[in-house]
Structure 1
Amino acid sequence: MENDTKCLLSELRAKSPEPLSSRIVELQRRSRLVQQKTAMRLCVQVNLSADSDPISETDPIELRHYNSDEYIAVSCPWYVPGHDTVSGRYRFAPENSPGVIMPPDIVLDRILNFKFCNSDYLNTPFWIDKICINQEASHEKEVAVHSMDLVYQYSGRRVIIDGKERIIGCSLGLLFMEINTIAQLSVLRNLLDSKFAKNIDNEAKLLVPVEEAIPVLDIIESILSDNWWHRAWIFQEEFLASRHMVLLLPCTLDRTGLFETNEEGVDLFGKTTGEIEVRPLNFRTEVTVFCLALCQNVDKAAQDRCDQILKHARRYTFLYRSKYTSGPGSVVKAMSPAIFEDISVRGITVPSDTLAIAANCCRYITTLNSEDLNLLKASLSIAILTLFVLNGELLSHDVPQDVVLGETVFGCLSRVKLVIQPPVPAGELIFIKACRLPAVSMKPEGLMVRGVLSRLDKKIKVKVSTSDQDLYWKTNDVTLTISLTDAERRLLMALVARLKTMREGGDVLHIKLKEFVDTQAANKAASRSVQFWSLAHISVMMAKAICRAIAEGRVLWLSRLHVPGKWTPWLGIFIPDDPFDMSRIISFVFTARESENELKDRGAKLARKNAWVTSLEVRFTGQIIPKRWINGLDFFNYQYHPKSLIMPWPKWLQ
């Protein structure tokens, strides 16, 4: 495969007389593949006793393969300079299994030390790719490698034991950069405790003088110098393990009495002897806030240092909401382009692995066969574009061609990803990640998509009482996204009343909307809540956006199924871009949802059932051309109403 990801798209176009869209269609035709995955966890068990530390003894340590759903998933580079000794002290019983590559002694020593020092994990087996994936069996290895996303994503699970909730399993990242002074330790502790900077109303604020803040960059850069932060596969492991990942940093200092302790009397760096424990999610959060705060108060040299740091340790959520951006690494508008970008700045032995890593992190179900691509000597840049489009990512059609052609493929993804305005200010990036075309097939003339095309042809205003309006603003809680409040249901019932007064077409919609509101009330009365990121959850979020529009006095736009020459009732309620425009402009909206079978099929392959949805205001000329994302609630029958339509290729791909 040709690794041409540093080429500009203009250079890619110049390599072939065929337009980029034709090359994308041809590539997917010759290499499309839905990867197999396995939920099997072949782990490693070691017999440990709370009374003896096997690390301090000289006898051989026996390892056994063991199938388990509860495990510690280990994340570390395969090669660590200066730490490559394999003495033979660790042995599999009864004998070495085929396809095993034994890790260096120090890796296994540190895993066992963590288990021994943390009683909850004393008998928990561990998973590490070198000895848990058969490195010789090619097909078995391919399936196992493409299933590593499941290993790390489900390494930690919440369970109820004896009426108490606890986390079983975790992921363990091994860094080899040592913390060797109390000063380093204190700076790191203060950083993690938000003593240097804090996020206030989505704005990063520096809490100390610049002179005190600048040296903090030294310890951050020192930690980020570890190779763990610079490998693409490890990026996947950390990203998918998320809050269940624990980093171990070697530290032989005596921490007694240095820091605050938790309820068990253990300091906040954990209780692993000779190590400090750091949550990488917490580290990324504090580093992001600190760098954003510092950039507003320093010269360009320090800003450049912050930008380099954010390339390897940024927290997407804070960068999406931040009111201040310093450089390219501090801008995040959607998760999938950021994921591709973060993979691009990390080391990778086989460039085509970029496709598998990105697909796993973005939760794509359709991937490309790397062996086929290598035989075709395909362009990696074209393959990345193909993967992006093939998995339903929404593209903007109005990006100037010269802007896109001046970017590499990774810069291009950020430019062309359609801007999506989430319906509520909570979980925005996860919502944007779910905004995809559920079913896509490629044609020379464009994308064949399946969904509902409806006609936006009537705008209405909803009058509500002052008391209902006041109640809404007093009780509005943006963090509550899975159910409607009493105030929100009252606003929706005012909309129901408004629809009932309409002479033509409002009868069906007001009945459907009332049924929706009644269902929400019944769920609340029965203490039932919808599953996060299901279609039901997304519908609640859309309903909340409508409630806010009503409370703000905005107009609403009603839509009906587009059937030329035939009258149909209104079944959709959407929020226009202009909040007070009551003109009779006619437009169209294209909405799509995954069918139950599609959800089950994707859930079975990915062990993840977050719904995919599309809601676009479009220009309709026999084909549909996206104009913008549009929030709204509709009651179309997605079993019978969808039709197949062509969405032409954006001009920048032609």
Structure 2
Amino acid sequence: MEVLCPPSDAGLRLDWSPPRVPLKRHWINARKEKRFVALSYTWKESKHEHKTHERYAVQARDKTRYFPCKVRDCVFERILKYMRVHDIFYLWIDRYCIAQRACKAHHCKHKKCATKRKALHASDLVYRNSRFPVALLGRQMKQEQHMRLLAKILGGRLVDGGIDGARLSRKTSWEEVQGALTLLDDITSDKWWTRAWMFQENYRSGTKMTLLIHHPPDLESTKGEFADVFGYVPGELSIQSTSFFKHTTLLCQAALAAGLESDMVHRILHAAGRYSMLLHESESMTSRIIADLQFKEVTVESDILAIIANCCTYPVRLDVKSLDKEDLSVNILALRLLNGEVFNNGRGRNQDLTQPKPTTESFFFPQFEAPPKHRRLTYNKNCRFDAVYLTNAGVKTTGHLWKLGKLIHTDELLPDPLRLKPSEPTLVTRDRLKQLVNVLKDNDAQFLARKIDHFIRYNDWNLPLRPLTTSKFSHRWVLTMIQEVIAAMKDGKVLRLGRLYDSPTNATPQISALFICNHDDHREPFGPSDYVFTSLRPKTVDDKQRNYNDLDRHVSIQVEVAGPADPLPRLYFKQWMPGSCFFSGCPRRKVVFPWPDIL
């Protein structure tokens, strides 16, 4: 990856006057060398910045000369100060580290144009790999009282409570709340917050992104009082982006809870709301990301497709040259479906065709059920189909189809009261699982009983049931499914046995799955909706030839099977139905989810 750095021969003579500060080009392996700044800034200056560009020069790619920078002097001045404080030598800036020259031909095959297109689709990896992503906000902090107020906001001194119940502190006056919201509205109205590329850069940087807000020298001593919040960079407030989003969201939620309904509060939340605090635990971040991005500005409209793909971790990309430029929403819909986003085609659901303009967003599934003690929004984001093909009949994908069987009422599986010890809650869980094993054996589910018994015997019950992120996907998933079953048993939910569905001419497969009934659908005899479709696949790892943008995928949904179920079952979505299933050595089968009526 190409970066910029100050050359060792700083006294290099240039061919124009006055002399400019030269910035050399350098190549690094971003997989190994992560100590570089990935800069996030707006190409066009804000109303608070000077647009002069007279002090810096960049080395040409052939390294034979230097040419004047078109990036504003203030951009380089601010970021080089940050780099000096943190002892960083490399700077990645899109204007000069991505080849910008590209023709406007729709079917261009020029090498430079192809290189730029690939760079756009991989730009998020720069911010993900960098240890020091930095955003330059144009709006300045000029008043001491505003700096002190911002320190109060970021220190959480205006709000009591947390995500589940933020409320204004008793010591917080209404005037202070109004002033704090006005300050946040002013900060988030800066041009940086309106651009789609900046959204991607901040989102993909995660907890590493730092926001820089410029201030005059006379406020340096005031900033020193809050060094733990604002850092030590001269002339800059260094604020962790996730901290800014968190405390901004808490203050806005507390203001709304106190009865302050205003456009300003919702405007702030739209710009700097933290998804983990705003979204319900059953929702997917994908829909919110796409909705937010469509309100952001881009110079080239088709760039929004690359930005959505980068933010949503989509490995399948669209060829913009061959797309219909007139209807961006159709292109976004195709992008989501090709990358396996789960939609609800269930009969009678989300098919209100009486609306003047039914939205495609309405049929994407919004109610996932993540296991307890998981990062629920991350889990929901990973709920996607695998190996998707769009056909006239619907979305074709692969996975395993299960036929549901007998019911197990877990409220009858009570632990031995003689062994209950408050200090040893894991013994209660182990006793329940042992009773479940016995029930499975009584219901001709010996294979499944052996699998759970193996888990009981070899699990370390002195440790919490928590999968390690470094472990293999298969191990993480088995433990995750066991956790779901354990949680269901604690809640007294009904479980249902399942066996892989196959052609009636083949031998009946053994029972190897246990699914959780989260709703009141426990009727017998069984009907056409007594099937579950599952699909699991670990993410495609990076290799030296290609940077895969992918994630682990898992789907577990109760479906109705329409028409002949062999060789290509037509499935209709009913509800999310998690569980524990084992299918080692069993090949996947192709299925099709027909298009909903809205399409």
Q: TM-score if structure 1 supplies the norm length?
A: 0.78
State whether structure 2 residue 191 is matched by structure 1 residue 235: no
- Report if aligned partners of 1:457, 1:559 keep a CA contact under 8 Å in 2: yes
Assess, with a 3 A threshold, how the Cα gap between structure 1 residues 468 and 243 changes in structure 2: closer, same or farther. Answer: farther
- Report if aligned partners of 1:48, 1:123 keep a CA contact under 8 Å in 2: no
Alignment partner of 1:289 out of 232, 235, 250: 250
- Letter paired with 2:288: A
Distance 1:528 1:213 in 2: 42
Assess, with a 3 A threshold, how the Cα gap between structure 1 residues 178 and 245 changes in structure 2: closer, same or farther. Answer: same
Q: Deviations over 1:266-292 (max 9, x none)?
A: 442010101101112111111111111
Distance 2:69 2:367 in 1: 46
Which runs of structure 1 show a deviation greater than 6 angstroms over 4 or more consecutive aligned residues? 473-476, 522-525, 601-604
Higher mean C-alpha deviation, range 196-205 or range 531-540: 531-540
The residue number in structure 2 matching 1:556 is: 495
Distance 2:191 2:370 in 1: 36
Q: Deviations over 1:64-103 (max 9, x none)?
A: 11122221100000110453212153342854579x9641
Q: What's the CA shift for 1:545?
A: 1.7
- Report if aligned partners of 1:365, 1:605 keep a CA contact under 8 Å in 2: no
Distance 2:164 2:572 in 1: 34
Alignment partner of 1:75 out of 40, 63, 78: 40
The residue number in structure 1 matching 2:108 is: none
Q: Deviations over 1:22-71 (max 9, x none)?
A: xxxxxxxxxxxxxxxxxxx211112589xxxxxxxx96322111122221
Assess, with a 3 A threshold, how the Cα gap between structure 1 residues 529 and 577 changes in structure 2: closer, same or farther. Answer: closer
State whether structure 2 residue 398 is matched by structure 1 residue 450: yes
- Report if aligned partners of 1:523, 1:529 keep a CA contact under 8 Å in 2: no
State whether structure 2 residue 57 is matched by structure 1 residue 90: yes
- Letter paired with 1:507: Q
- Report if aligned partners of 1:396, 1:419 keep a CA contact under 8 Å in 2: no
- Letter paired with 1:562: Y
State whether structure 2 residue 536 is matched by structure 1 residue 593: yes
Alignment partner of 1:314 out of 260, 264, 273: 273
State whether structure 2 residue 189 is matched by structure 1 residue 225: yes
Q: Deviations over 1:391-412 (max 9, x none)?
A: 1000122443337955675xx4
- Report if aligned partners of 2:213, 2:237 keep a CA contact under 8 Å in 1: yes
The residue number in structure 2 matching 1:271 is: 232
The residue number in structure 1 matching 2:370 is: 422
Q: TM-score if structure 2 supplies the norm length?
A: 0.85
- Bigger RCO of structures 1 and 2 (CA < 8 A, at least 6 apart): 1
The residue number in structure 1 matching 2:573 is: 626
The residue number in structure 1 matching 2:104 is: none
- Letter paired with 1:115: M
Q: What's the CA shift for 1:464?
A: 2.9
Q: What's the CA shift for 1:255?
A: 4.1
Distance 1:259 1:518 in 2: 57
The residue number in structure 2 matching 1:132 is: 97
Alignment partner of 2:295 out of 311, 321, 345: 345
Q: Secondary structure at the match of 1:592?
A: strand
Alignment partner of 1:612 out of 553, 560, 563: 553
Q: Secondary structure at the match of 1:388?
A: helix
Alignment partner of 2:352 out of 375, 396, 402: 402
- Report if aligned partners of 1:101, 1:131 keep a CA contact under 8 Å in 2: no
- Letter paired with 2:254: A
Distance 1:311 1:180 in 2: 25
Assess, with a 3 A threshold, how the Cα gap between structure 1 residues 255 and 293 changes in structure 2: closer, same or farther. Answer: same
Alignment partner of 2:26 out of 66, 72, 75: 66
- Letter paired with 1:646: V
Q: What's the CA shift for 1:563?
A: 2.4
- Letter paired with 1:465: P
Distance 1:238 1:543 in 2: 35
- Report if aligned partners of 1:424, 1:541 keep a CA contact under 8 Å in 2: no
Q: What's the CA shift for 1:117?
A: 2.3
Q: What's the CA shift for 1:222?
A: 0.8
Assess, with a 3 A threshold, how the Cα gap between structure 1 residues 379 and 91 changes in structure 2: closer, same or farther. Answer: closer
Q: Deviations over 1:524-548 (max 9, x none)?
A: 69x9935379343233222112111
The residue number in structure 1 matching 2:128 is: 153
The residue number in structure 1 matching 2:107 is: none
The residue number in structure 2 matching 1:481 is: none
Assess, with a 3 A threshold, how the Cα gap between structure 1 residues 242 and 547 changes in structure 2: closer, same or farther. Answer: same
Q: What's the CA shift for 1:209?
A: 4.0
Alignment partner of 1:114 out of 53, 59, 82: 82
Assess, with a 3 A threshold, how the Cα gap between structure 1 residues 513 and 267 changes in structure 2: closer, same or farther. Answer: closer
Matches within 5 A, 1:169-318: 170-200=132-162, 202-207=164-169, 208-252=172-216, 253-256=218-221, 266-300=227-261, 302=262, 304-318=263-277
Distance 2:574 2:345 in 1: 8
Q: Secondary structure at the match of 2:598?
A: helix
Q: What's the CA shift for 1:147?
A: 0.9
Q: What's the CA shift for 1:185?
A: 0.6
Q: Deviations over 1:427-484 (max 9, x none)?
A: 011000000001111110111111111111111134131559966x8777xxxxxxxx
Q: What's the CA shift for 1:205?
A: 1.7
Assess, with a 3 A threshold, how the Cα gap between structure 1 residues 333 and 96 changes in structure 2: closer, same or farther. Answer: farther
Q: Secondary structure at the match of 1:256?
A: helix
- Letter paired with 1:288: T
The residue number in structure 2 matching 1:437 is: 385
How many percent identity over aligned positions? 26
- Report if aligned partners of 1:363, 1:606 keep a CA contact under 8 Å in 2: no
Distance 1:627 1:224 in 2: 41
- Report if aligned partners of 2:540, 2:548 keep a CA contact under 8 Å in 1: no
The residue number in structure 2 matching 1:499 is: 440
The residue number in structure 2 matching 1:576 is: 517
Assess, with a 3 A threshold, how the Cα gap between structure 1 residues 397 and 206 changes in structure 2: closer, same or farther. Answer: farther
- Letter paired with 2:454: E
- Letter paired with 1:280: S
Matches within 5 A, 1:473-492: 488-492=429-433
Q: Secondary structure at the match of 2:272?
A: coil
Assess, with a 3 A threshold, how the Cα gap between structure 1 residues 97 and 235 changes in structure 2: closer, same or farther. Answer: farther
Q: What's the CA shift for 1:201?
A: 6.0
**How many pairs were matched up?**
555
Q: Secondary structure at the match of 1:644?
A: strand
The residue number in structure 1 matching 2:598 is: 652
- Report if aligned partners of 1:533, 1:611 keep a CA contact under 8 Å in 2: no
Distance 2:417 2:552 in 1: 36
Distance 2:94 2:88 in 1: 20
Distance 1:96 1:135 in 2: 18
Q: Deviations over 1:289-317 (max 9, x none)?
A: 111111122354x2x22111111111000
Q: Secondary structure at the match of 2:166?
A: strand
Distance 2:199 2:363 in 1: 23
